[in-house]
């Protein structure tokens, strides 16, 4: 039924009528209880009401004949009423009125002068016929009071029943408000034309109409006679009930739809003002964000000083400026500590990242504005560095694995080639050209074998897969032995070697086998790339807490590459491929040096090629050595 418009219209009408009857019954019940209908006899009450009406009619008749002095024309005729009256003079003589009656249980006298400038006192006496033979207001009051008294308890039951039905109808209207069946047959909640009116505007219209009705009632209708007045009051009450029912239904519909406050003029105005303020605030905030940090701080301090100045002016006359000044100082102190704390956190975070801790993240939960933005920047830098390092490590591992696998795959057939070449050389071959071919095969296969071994060694060195047996090593003796081993080869290339070492032996903690491999690669590099008829300098010295080994030579070709690139794999100082070498020597030397806790640096000055190797002396901490290695 709640989806049927006809059913809701019928219940709406019943609710209005039931509410009116309930209000009328309740008013009658309260009035009867106040007048004692439930605890006193009814006859005295009726006599009191009739006597009150009789007094009113007597005064009204006296006012009517106030100006009359001539009573000619016979007795007054008044049909259809139980009220009678007589006018007598001061001596009690009958002057005018209705026919005398024998029953005078109810009478009321009223004395007053009659006629203008009359000093004669006359008396008007009103009578009531207690038989109540005529149907007038006296009979109506008598019958109404006796009927109400007779059904006084029935009225209570009727009032309760009316109230229950009224409540049931009201609940039905609230439940059915807004529900309807749409064109597709679905049960939906929809707003009608009245429900779409802004709610505050709807309430304002109701208040205006109620105020207008009350003004009409108290300023105009109250001057009407009894029957029209009561009719007007009843009509206004009926309109009020209809307005209340309509208000309840539209409010219930709005509640069911949800967010009823949005359909109000107040919400629309406030929302518009809020959007305007938000737009202005965003503009100011955007302008403020565009300013440098120094200008932001300057504007904040200027604004704070200005507000403080105004507050001090207002408090100066009352003497309250000292507490205000103390409060502002405390606020400024706390703000300064807060800013310094966040600056310290940012500084510590940047320091951690600069030390290589790329996984460290700054907590920006309590930061604001530029501090939070700067913290995010630092965190993003750390994330980027972590990603870059991971990608580089992944790429390096992939490259190393590829080189190792390929080198092993090539080494097996190459060993077979070398063995077969050696077997062919042992055969009695008469052709000189065939022997020359075998020599070329033997030479190049040996070079290829050396390249593969270097590749495998470079791969192991870069990944740390070479076992290091560190032991005290007299580095000067090892350097002299290496120079002696290459003395003949260097002499063939017309390069003179000059070795300088201190008289006191320098001992470092290193793996002699790996250190010899480093010296071997560097001296081989000098043999391959040094300019003939020049000198190569090998030196050993103690600088602070480190042993420094230096290799210097003059390059035969221009060094058109940076020092950092020379330690990469397959990179050579000359761009041509006509000379010997494959670009792995320096890379292997650097990796082996770092595995032993040392460091290898390369410096290029024109054609001067210089390699410096640093090792901590025995007893020195490797980390301290790496952080404080002297630069020569």
3-state secondary structure of 393: helix
For residue 64, the 8-state DSSP code is H
Looking at the structure, do residues 520 and 614 belong to the same domain, yes or no?
yes
Find the domain containing 405 and state its range: 385-465
Looking at the structure, do residues 486 and 601 belong to the same domain, yes or no?
yes
pLDDT of res. 572: 46
Looking at the structure, do residues 411 and 534 belong to the same domain, yes or no?
no
Residue 127 lies in a domain: yes
Residue 416 lies in a domain: yes
Residue 238 lies in a domain: no
Greater confidence, 105 or 137?
A: 137
Looking at the structure, do residues 342 and 412 belong to the same domain, yes or no?
no
Question: Worst-scoring range by mean pLDDT, 392-401, 449-458, 547-556?
Answer: 449-458
Question: Worst-scoring range by mean pLDDT, 14-18, 118-122, 294-298?
Answer: 118-122
Looking at the structure, do residues 415 and 556 belong to the same domain, yes or no?
no
User: At which of 121, 155, 189 does a domain end?
Assistant: 155
Q: Which parts of 42-105 are beta strand (E)?
A: 83-88, 94-97
Residue 377 lies in a domain: no
For residue 558, the 8-state DSSP code is -
Residue 250 lies in a domain: no
3-state secondary structure of 111: strand
Mean pLDDT of 450-458: 69
Mean residue pLDDT of the chain comes to 79
For residue 502, the 8-state DSSP code is -
pLDDT of res. 317: 63
Task: Note the pLDDT tens digit of each residue in 575-619.
Answer: 434 445 455 678 888 888 888 889 999 988 888 999 999 999 886
Looking at the structure, do residues 37 and 132 belong to the same domain, yes or no?
yes
3-state secondary structure of 489: helix
- Model pTM greater than 0.75? no
Looking at the structure, do residues 425 and 491 belong to the same domain, yes or no?
no
CATH number where 428 lies: 1.10.287.130
Looking at the structure, do residues 448 and 477 belong to the same domain, yes or no?
no
Residue 331 lies in a domain: yes
> What distance in Å separates the CA atoms of residue 120 and residue 114, rounded to the nearest whole number?
7
Looking at the structure, do residues 493 and 566 belong to the same domain, yes or no?
yes
Exposed / middle / buried, residue 340 (Cβ in 10 Å: 0-12, 13-18, 19+):
exposed
Task: Note the pLDDT tens digit of each residue in 398-429.
Answer: 777 776 677 677 777 878 888 877 877 777 77
- Cβ atoms of residues 427 and 386 within 8 Å: no
Question: Domain tally for the chain?
Answer: 4
Q: Which helix (H) or strand (E) holds 265?
A: helix 265-290
Q: At how many degrees (to 10) do helices 152-176 and 5-35 cross?
A: 150
For residue 222, the 8-state DSSP code is G
Greater confidence, 588 or 463?
A: 588
pLDDT of res. 118: 55
Looking at the structure, do residues 504 and 609 belong to the same domain, yes or no?
yes
Q: Which residue, 435, 402, 441, is CA-closest to 418? A: 441
User: At which of 418, 434, 465 does a domain end?
Assistant: 465
Looking at the structure, do residues 84 and 98 belong to the same domain, yes or no?
yes
CATH number where 543 lies: 3.30.565.10
- For 544, half-sphere exposure in the C-beta direction (CA atoms, 13 angstrom radius) is 13
Considering only CA atoms, give the Rg of the chain. Answer: 60
Residue 187 lies in a domain: no
User: At which of 155, 175, 195 does a domain end?
Assistant: 155
Looking at the structure, do residues 441 and 520 belong to the same domain, yes or no?
no
């Amino acid at each position: 039924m709640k989806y049927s418009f006809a059913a809701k219209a019928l219940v709406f009408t019943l609710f209005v009528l039931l509410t009116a009857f309930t209000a009328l019954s309740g008013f009658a019940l309260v009035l009867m209880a106040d007048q004692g209908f439930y605890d006193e006899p009814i006859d005295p009450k009726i006599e009191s009401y009739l006597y009150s009406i009789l007094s009113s009619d007597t005064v009204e008749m006296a006012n009517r004949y106030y100006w009359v002095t001539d009573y000619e024309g016979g007795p007054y005729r008044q049909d259809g009423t139980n009220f009678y009256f007589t006018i007598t003079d001061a001596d009690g003589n009958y002057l005018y009125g209705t026919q005398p009656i024998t029953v005078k249980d109810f009478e009321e006298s009223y004395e007053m002068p009659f006629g203008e400038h009359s000093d004669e006192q006359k008396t008007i006496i009103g009578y009531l016929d207690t038989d109540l033979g005529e149907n007038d207001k006296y009979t109506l009051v008598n019958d109404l009071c006796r009927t109400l008294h007779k059904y006084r308890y029935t009225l209570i039951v009727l009032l309760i029943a009316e109230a229950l039905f009224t409540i049931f109808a009201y609940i039905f209207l609230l439940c059915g408000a807004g529900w309807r069946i749409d064109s597709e047959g679905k049960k939906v909640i929809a707003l009608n034309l009245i429900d779409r009116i802004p709610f505050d505007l709807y309430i304002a219209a109701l208040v205006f109409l109620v105020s207008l009705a009350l003004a009409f009632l108290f300023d105009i209708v109250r001057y009407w006679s009894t029957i029209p007045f009561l009719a007007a009051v009843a009509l206004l009450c009926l309109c009020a009930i209809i307005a209340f029912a309509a208000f309840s239904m539209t409010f219930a519909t709005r509640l069911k739809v949800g967010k009823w406050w949005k359909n109000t003029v107040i919400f629309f105005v406030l929302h518009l003002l809020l959007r305007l303020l938000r737009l202005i605030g965003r503009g100011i905030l955007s302008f403020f964000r565009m300013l440098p940090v120094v200008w932001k701080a300057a504007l904040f301090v200027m604004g704070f000083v200005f507000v403080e100045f105004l507050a001090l002016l207002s408090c100066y006359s009352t003497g309250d400026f000292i507490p205000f000044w103390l409060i502002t100082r405390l606020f400024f102190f706390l703000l300064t500590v807060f800013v310094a704390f966040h600056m310290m956190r940012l500084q510590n975070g940047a320091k951690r990242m600069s030390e290589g801790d790329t996984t460290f993240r700054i907590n920006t939960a309590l930061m604001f504005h530029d501090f939070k933005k700067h913290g995010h920047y630092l965190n993003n830098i750390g994330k980027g560095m972590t990603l870059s390092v991971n990608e580089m490590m992944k790429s390096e591992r992939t490259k190393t694995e590829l080189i190792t696998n390929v080198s092993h795959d090539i080494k097996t057939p190459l060993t077979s080639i070398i063995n077969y070449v050696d077997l062919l050389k042992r055969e009695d071959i008469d052709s000189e050209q065939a022997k020359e071919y075998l020599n070329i095969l033997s030479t190049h296969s040996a070079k290829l074998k050396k390249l593969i071994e270097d590749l495998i060694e470079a791969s192991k060195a870069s990944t740390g897969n070479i076992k290091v047996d560190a032991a005290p090593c007299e580095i000067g003796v090892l350097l002299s032995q290496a120079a002696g081993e290459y003395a003949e080869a260097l002499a063939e290339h017309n390069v003179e070697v000059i070795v300088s070492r201190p008289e006191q032996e320098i001992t470092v903690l290193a793996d002699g086998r790996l250190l010899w491999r480093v010296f071997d690669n560097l001296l081989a590099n000098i043999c391959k790339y040094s300019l003939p008829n020049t000198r190569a300098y090998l030196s050993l010295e103690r600088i602070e807490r480190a042993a420094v080994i230096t290799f210097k030579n003059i390059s035969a070709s221009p060094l058109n590459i940076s020092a950092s690139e020379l330690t990469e794999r397959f990179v050579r100082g000359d761009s041509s491929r006509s000379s010997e070498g494959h670009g792995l020597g320096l890379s292997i030397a650097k990796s082996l040096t770092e595995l032993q806790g040392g460091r290898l640096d390369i410096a290029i000055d024109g054609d001067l090629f210089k390699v410096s190797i640093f090792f901590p002396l025995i007893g020195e901490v490797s980390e301290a050595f790496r952080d404080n290695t002297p630069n020569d």
